[in-house]
Each structure stands twice: as C-alpha cells, then as structure tokens.
C-alpha cells in the first residue's frame, strides 16, 4: 500500500508500506519559491527502513537506510 497526503492511503495492511509526499511545501511550489521537496519512505513492519528527501529546486538530496547510515548530496558531492 501507498500512503500520501494528497491521495490518502489504502486500508489494507502489508508488512511493507510506502509513504509519499510528492510536493511538501505546496504553497512555495505554486508561488515559485524554491523551498519545497519530495518525501519518500518505506516502512517495513511499521519501522522506517529507508527514506529520501529531495529538494530538486535547490539541487539537494538527503537519504538514509536502516543500518546503512545517512547521506546528503549537494553540488555534485555526496557526504555521509
């Protein structure tokens, strides 16, 4: 199942669930203000397994995985 602010979610239970917010900061996006992002996460048995935050207008991205650490990407460089 997929859950999201704009499109609700499924009532069915699954051990794996996606949580998606395609445009977090909709007012900024509509006004052309570059401070908005896309949020994606995967829950496994209700525990976050991986997550990504992407701010394409700013050229930035952050992601993390359970047991893998957290990372950021900006200006062509990736850092943990």
Alpha-carbon distance of 39 to 35, in angstroms, equals 13
Q: Cα angle vertex 50, ends 16, 56, to 5°? A: 120
Confidence of residue 14 (pLDDT cuts 50, 70, 90): confident
Sheet holding 60-65, edge to edge: 2-4, 16-24, 37-44, 47-55, 60-65, 69-74, 77-79
Q: Do 80 and 70 meet the contact criterion of CB atoms below 8 Å apart? A: yes
For residue 28, give the 3-state DSSP assignment: helix
Domain range for 40 is 2-79
* Tens digit of each residue's pLDDT (9 = 90 or more) over 18-46: 999 999 999 999 999 999 999 999 999 99
The CATH number linked to 71 is: 3.30.540.10
The mean pLDDT of 44-49, rounded to a whole number, is 95
The total number of structural domains in the chain stands at: 1
Residue 16 predicted with pLDDT over 70: yes
């Amino acid at each position: 199942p997929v859950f999201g602010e704009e499109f609700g979610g499924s009532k069915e239970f699954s051990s794996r669930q996606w949580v998606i917010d395609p445009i977090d900061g909709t007012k900024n996006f509509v006004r052309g203000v570059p401070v908005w992002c896309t949020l994606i996460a995967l829950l496994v048995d209700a525990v976050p397994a991986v997550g990504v935050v992407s701010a394409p207008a700013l050229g930035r991205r952050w992601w993390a995985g359970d047991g893998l650490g957290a990372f950021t990407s900006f200006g062509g460089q990736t850092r943990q």
